[in-house]
Amino acid sequence: MGDCTIPCSHGIMFSMAMSVAKKSFLIILISIAIASFFWVRHLRRRLTAIQGAVITRNSDPRKQLPIADVEITASDGISVVKSKSDASGLFTIKLRKPLLRGQIIALQFRHPNYDPLELSANTPGQIAVASLAPLFKAKPIADNLPKQTIGNVRVRYSIKTASVVTIGSAVRAFEAINEGNVPCAAHLQCSPDGKWRAATASTSLDAGQGNEFRNARASCIAGPCPFTRIDATGLDHDGRTISVSGTSWSDTATFLVEAEVVHPMTTDVVRNSYPAIFGDALNFTLPPSAEGVSIQADVNAETIIFPLGPALILSWADCNVRINRDQTRVFRCELKPGYRWINQGASTQ
């Protein structure tokens, strides 16, 4: 029994050392596995964006119009994401960032009025431009048939503009009654250095219903003006009423407040715009505040004004409109069969 003491103790210590080593190795493996899991999870959560535009296929760049409501499907072989183009043809698709560089993303474009298109993208940040061919092409009209003429086209619209009418002016004098060289003592108002007694006077003006003051100002006009102070915060903003106060810490001082009286008005200003004509289509833009849009044109040499209501109906053209991000409206009107342009100085063929 005594002979086994030393060998047995060495065996136990060796066994304990092996046990600690195994546990340490196991802990390291588990830590690596957990770290790998979260790292892969982080990589898969990273997103990459594909942006592009969908336009009409045409050899003339001026006729490559944006196409809205095109269904775009993107696939990286693992996930599938769908999106639609907006009024400007823009589309944005966000996919998980690929673990491997050079991974190809397949893009499909579908619209009921255009041929389907398939593209591939493999460079992050690259702009994808999809040109879709129309399914239905306009039937050519025989040249020997008479056509009605459209010329001297201009776009008329109105914008509300703020204006003012000057009614007159307002003026008022007021006094801060005080006696100079009187120690401040326990008086409530004192000079800035706290030495002399001070007095404050104030006044206010009312421009009347619907009127406002403009360019209001106040000054000391009589008395020991170097020893006065004016509080003109009530004159900083235009409005129906204004107020001002003046303080004197010497003898009585006289102050004067003046302002112009105006009547604000909102008027409609009519403006004209000349569209750009490419082929059979005219194009023009309008600011967001434009109202009462109409098109004036000479139809068979007779000047006619066509109101362009929300339905965008013209007897001689088919019109559509899209709205940009800044709310600018972009109009396009394409001639109907049987019409042609004539004497259009702003046209570009």
- The tens digit of pLDDT for each residue in 96-136 reads 765 455 677 889 999 998 999 998 877 666 788 989 998 87
Q: Where are the beta strands (DSSP E) in 207-312?
A: 212-222, 228-231, 241-248, 253-273, 276-278, 281-286, 291-299, 302-307
**Count of Cβ atoms closer than 10 Å to residue 58 Cβ:** 14
For residue 86, give the nearest of 102, 64, 57, 66 by alpha carbon. 66
For residue 324, give the nearest of 111, 58, 159, 89 by alpha carbon. 89
DSSP of 338-349, one letter per residue?
Answer: TEEE-S-TTEE-
Q: In the prediction, which pLDDT does 146 show?
A: 62
Alpha-carbon distance of 207 to 243, in angstroms, equals: 12
User: Cβ distance 161 to 267 under 8 Å?
Assistant: yes
Chain mean position to CA 103: 35
- In the predicted model, is pLDDT for residue 35 greater than 50? yes
- In the predicted model, is pLDDT for residue 295 greater than 90? yes
Lowest mean pLDDT among 57-66, 201-210, 227-236: 57-66
Let me know if domain 47-132 sits in CATH 3.40.190.10: no
Q: 278: pLDDT confidence band, cut at 50, 70 and 90? A: confident
Alpha-carbon distance of 122 to 206, in angstroms, equals: 70
Q: In the prediction, which pLDDT does 210 show?
A: 92
Q: In the prediction, which pLDDT does 349 show?
A: 43
Alpha-carbon distance of 214 to 175, in angstroms, equals: 23
Angle (CA) 320-326-328 rounded to 5° is 35
pLDDT digits (tens, 9 = 90+) for 185-228: 876 889 998 889 999 999 999 999 999 999 999 999 999 999 99
Q: In the prediction, which pLDDT does 249 show?
A: 94
User: Cβ distance 245 to 230 under 8 Å?
Assistant: yes
Residues 233-266: b if buried by 16+ CB within 10 A, e if exposed: ebbeebeeebbbbbbbbbebbbbbbbbbbbeeee
- In the predicted model, is pLDDT for residue 157 greater than 90? yes
Query: Is 330 buried (19+), middle (13-18) or exposed (0-12) by CB count in 10 A?
Result: middle
- In the predicted model, is pLDDT for residue 155 greater than 70? yes
Inter-residue long-range contacts of 335-340, CB under 8 Å, 24+ positions, other chains counted: 335/150, 335/280, 335/281, 337/138, 337/139, 337/141, 338/141, 338/145, 338/147, 338/148, 339/147, 339/148, 339/149, 339/150, 340/147, 340/148, 340/149, 340/150
What mean pLDDT is predicted for residues 245-269?
93
pLDDT digits (tens, 9 = 90+) for 37-54: 655 555 455 667 788 899
Q: In the prediction, which pLDDT does 15 show?
A: 59
Q: In the prediction, which pLDDT does 36 show?
A: 66
What mean pLDDT is predicted for residues 143-172?
86
Q: In the prediction, which pLDDT does 343 show?
A: 63
pLDDT digits (tens, 9 = 90+) for 316-333: 998 888 888 888 998 988
Q: In the prediction, which pLDDT does 176 show?
A: 94
Lowest mean pLDDT among 21-25, 83-87, 275-279: 21-25
Query: Is 10 buried (19+), middle (13-18) or exposed (0-12) by CB count in 10 A?
Result: exposed
- In the predicted model, is pLDDT for residue 2 greater than 60? no
Could you identify the residue written with the tokens 């960032």? Answer: 97
Note the pTM of the prediction, 2 decimals.
Answer: 0.55
How far is the first Cα of the chain from the last one, in angstroms, to the nearest whole number? 115
What average pLDDT does the chain have?
83
DSSP label of 192? T
